[in-house]
Amino acid sequence: MKECKIGVYICNCGSNIARVIDCEAVREFVSHLPQVTIARTYRYMCSNPGQEMIAQDIKENGLDRVVVAACSPRMHERTFRNAIQTAGLNPYMLEMANIREQCSWVHKDAAAATEKAKALARAAVLRVVNHEALERMSVDMCPQTLIIGGGMAGMTAALELADANQRVYLVEKKALLGGNLGRVDLTAPYLDSARDLITERITRVRNNPNITVMLDAQVKELKGYVGNFTAAIQQNGGQQKEAVEVKIGNVVVCTGYQEFDANRITHYGYGKLPNVITSFEFELMLRAGRIQTKEGKIPQYVAIVHCVGSRSQEFHGYCSRVCCMTALKYVHEIKSAIPKCYVSDLYIDMHAFGKGHEDFYRHTLDVKTMFLMYGKNEHPVVRRADPGDDCEMFIEVDEKLSGEVIEIPADLVILMVGMETRPDSVDVARLVNISQDKEGWFIESHPKLDPVATTTDGIYIAGTCAAPKDIPDTVAQARAASARILARVARGKIDVDAVFAEIDENYCSGCRMCNELCPYSAIEFDEKKKRSHVISALCKACGACVSSCPSGAIKGRHFTDRQIYSQIEGVLL
Amino acid sequence: MSFEPKIVGFLCNWCSYTGADLAGTSRIQYMPNIRIIRVMCSARIDPTFVMKALVDGADGVLICGCHPGDCHYSEGNYKAMRRYPLLKKLLADFGIEDERVRLEWVSASEGQRFADLVNDMTERIRALGPSRIRGTLQIDKNER
């Protein structure tokens, strides 16, 4: 057996782990495992003192391998790899045991969870014995960036990069820039013009020589890896039929949202009652400068219904974040256009979380608005008024604050339709190889610490394609994504993972089975030697070839048979 | 004491392991019988991994990958899917009950599905009783 000096570090994660798992018992258990030199518990292993403790132990005790039993490796593997590297160890001499997401957070039985944590820690110890030092490859970072989507997020990200003198390809599916914001009149809470915001962006994007705008275009294929992608972009219409190929280092996905289809809800009468309209239809009216019914009359009563498609069991469970303030904006716009109009606002909860939003809400109370609260998963019902009534429709609502069922008149009903993912977001996710959550929003690398990166290196997300958000948040994300890219471009080189497959030519029989299996065509056959070999820069380490080689000639670095075997032995405590 | 089965889970990094992590962040509770081993792709799961787990004392093995069409490596899960019937045939020849080894798809957003799967599999294997294959075979270690 290999002689190793292993340090095992068991994190309490405050009480996240220690509440369920007896960390001291795990420590005691692993400290008796062969080759374990030192075993410690600590409150927060990922904190600076935690990392320094590991680094110090490496130096003082000559540790050559480290196991951290803590959260998911998806969370902090990089953190601890860097920590052991600062102490002079190869970053791949680390193994993590996931005792939080896959143990303390999912089990209540303390004894069983502690036994499981011991097994997972033991597996990590046995595995790390078989770890090998791996050297990362350094490759050039192509400074050009591809941005998918020409709305607020896409244009802002493009300008940020272009202003730093970097080349940008901005691909928009539609024939014009501006996205959904291009359909909006004024913005909340300061009632400034959305058109001014968007026109400024469009003009600057159009005039910037560093930005190539491709309208009516779609990205058909994305190949390669961070720093070295090739994108095939197909422009529809015109003479050009061939897809254009561009070299890029990074991608920002800014594909936005679509509005909820109000036809899916029947009790508001949308599609049947002509004066029940969606918020986007009302924006059109506002932009045209005249608020009126379908019959061309000035409405005496306007009702605004919140959470149409949002915060409901039946449709979308999430809050769409912008509709509450947009509804209040409508109150102001209606009141200033038709001062005598009675405006009622039917809401579930008023979400006024942003800067200036509470003040805006308060001002809306000053302009005499009737606020009516309805219950979550209940809904007001709209019906046509009878001839002789002085209004077009009535809305019946079970009002929560008064506890009474109230009927209110309306000539125009505005449905605050929520945000949802575009139906083709699944194609985008596959194109750039990122994941979607249960609602279809793109998943970020870390919801708090890394909100614009994704689990695929070199692919960033910004704006409403990641989740509903307002303009300031969208702009902040777009600029954050650009800043991340600029930081990498400034370095010029990028370290790519040292985890890839390699073929031992002494064992390769030249059967070429792996050549066909590789999804990236990363395995070449040398006709002279009659042996296959892996082009490591193209390999993405899936391991499909490793497990299918009949000669056992392929080694999946950092996921070798021996490492996984030892892990199997370890978990079967 | 009632029989507590040991289940080894081989989960792909991108969908299923992430889905299992999501069960954690969502605090979805499930039975503690499963021990998860992360691989990059379900296509990496060598049939010998499953055999070794059974021989070393696992009462069940759960293999999870991305849903068909959603593989991070575009088609690795199809490779796992094609390999699986062959493995099942082999297991049957060794007299290992069909229910002990299972291939399922779990996406990154299916924390609840993962928890349900673990509970279901744990119950079934508990009913089935301990595996008799433990220690009966020798798995030849590949030295690479």
* Structure-derived torsion over alpha carbons of residues A549, A552, A558, A563, reported in degrees to the nearest 10: 130
pTM of the full structure: 0.82
Considering only CB atoms, which chain A residues are within 8 Å of B68?
A: none
Mean pLDDT of chain A: 95
**Which residues of chain A form CATH 3.50.50.60?**
145-257+421-494, 262-419
A153 to chain B, any CB pair closer than 8 A? The answer is: no
Considering only CB atoms, which chain A residues are within 8 Å of B24?
A: 72, 100-102, 105-106
Contacts of residue B47, defined as CB under 8 A and 6 or more positions apart, other chains included, come to: A547, B83, B86, B87, B90
Mean predicted confidence (pLDDT) in A115-139: 95
Cα separation, B81 vs A108, in Å, equals 34
What pLDDT, on a 0 to 100 scale, did the predictor assign at position B136?
79
A18 to chain B, any CB pair closer than 8 A? The answer is: no
CATH fold for the domain made of A6-136: Rossmann fold (3.40.50)
Nearest 5°: phi and psi at B12?
A: -70, 145
What pLDDT, on a 0 to 100 scale, did the predictor assign at position A70?
98
pLDDT above 90: percentage of residues in chain A: 91
Query: In whole angstroms, what separates CA A448 from the centre of its chain?
Result: 11
Considering only CB atoms, which chain B residues are within 8 Å of A425?
A: none
Residue B53 forms part of a structural domain: yes
Residue B137 forms part of a structural domain: no
What pLDDT, on a 0 to 100 scale, did the predictor assign at position B144?
55
CATH number for the domain that contains residue B80: 3.40.50
Considering only CB atoms, which chain B residues are within 8 Å of A555?
A: 144
Cis before A519? omega within 30:
no
Residue B50 forms part of a structural domain: yes
Considering only CB atoms, which chain B residues are within 8 Å of A561?
A: 46, 48, 141-142, 144
- What is the pairing mode between strands A393-398 and A405-410? antiparallel
- What is the pairing mode between strands A244-248 and A228-235? antiparallel
CA distance B2 to chain A (A): 14
Residue B134 forms part of a structural domain: no
**pLDDT grade, residue A301 (50/70/90)?**
very high
Query: For residue A422, is pLDDT > 60?
Result: yes
Cα separation, A75 vs B21, in Å, equals 10
Q: What is the CATH number of domain A145-257+421-494?
A: 3.50.50.60
Query: For residue A60, is pLDDT > 90?
Result: yes
Query: For residue A508, is pLDDT > 70?
Result: yes
Q: SS3 letters for B70-125? A: CCCCCCHHHHHHHHHHHHHHHHHHCCCCHHHEEEEECCCCCHHHHHHHHHHHHHHH
Query: For residue A319, is pLDDT > 70?
Result: yes
Cβ distance of B79 and A556 shorter than 8 Å? no
CATH fold for the domain made of A501-556: Alpha-Beta Plaits (3.30.70)
Residues A544 and B127: beta-carbon distance below 8 Å: no
Residue B1 forms part of a structural domain: no
Partner-chain residue, chosen from A435, A543, A560, that has the shortest CB–CB distance to B43 = A543
Which of B12, B25, B62 should we substitute to test contact with A (largest number of A Cβ atoms within 10 Å)? Answer: B25
Partner-chain residue, chosen from B24, B52, B107, that has the shortest CB–CB distance to A101 = B24
E strands present in A71-152: 94-98, 137-140, 145-148
Q: What is the ipTM of this complex?
A: 0.96
Cβ distance of A102 and B18 shorter than 8 Å? no
**Interhelix angle A110-129/A23-31, nearest 10 degrees:** 40
Query: For residue A381, is pLDDT > 70?
Result: yes
What is the tens place of the pLDDT at every residue in A80-96?
999 999 999 999 999 99
What is the tens place of the pLDDT at every residue in B69-95?
889 888 899 999 999 999 999 999 999
pLDDT above 70: percentage of residues in chain A: 99
Which of B1, B35, B71 should we substitute to test contact with A (largest number of A Cβ atoms within 10 Å)? Answer: B35
Q: SS3 letters for A432-479? A: HCCCECCCCCECCCECCCECCECCCCCEEECHHHCCCCCHHHHHHHHH
What is the tens place of the pLDDT at every residue in A255-294?
999 999 999 999 999 999 999 999 999 999 999 999 999 9
A230: left (phi over 0), alpha (psi -120 to 50) or beta: beta
Mean predicted confidence (pLDDT) in A476-498: 95
What pLDDT, on a 0 to 100 scale, did the predictor assign at position B141?
57
What is the tens place of the pLDDT at every residue in A176-206?
999 999 999 999 999 999 999 999 999 999 9
Query: For residue A455, is pLDDT > 80?
Result: yes
Between A460 and A447, residue with greater pLDDT: A460
**Interhelix angle A279-288/A323-337, nearest 10 degrees:** 40
Burial class (CB in 10 A: 0-12, 13-18, 19+), A504: middle
Mean predicted confidence (pLDDT) in B24-51: 97
Cβ distance of B110 and A438 shorter than 8 Å? yes
**Interhelix angle B16-25/A73-86, nearest 10 degrees:** 100
Nearest 5°: phi and psi at A192?
A: -95, 165
Number of domains in chain B: 1
What pLDDT, on a 0 to 100 scale, did the predictor assign at position B135?
76
CATH superfamily membership of A262-419? FAD/NAD(P)-binding domain (3.50.50.60)
**Which residues of chain A form CATH 3.40.50?**
6-136
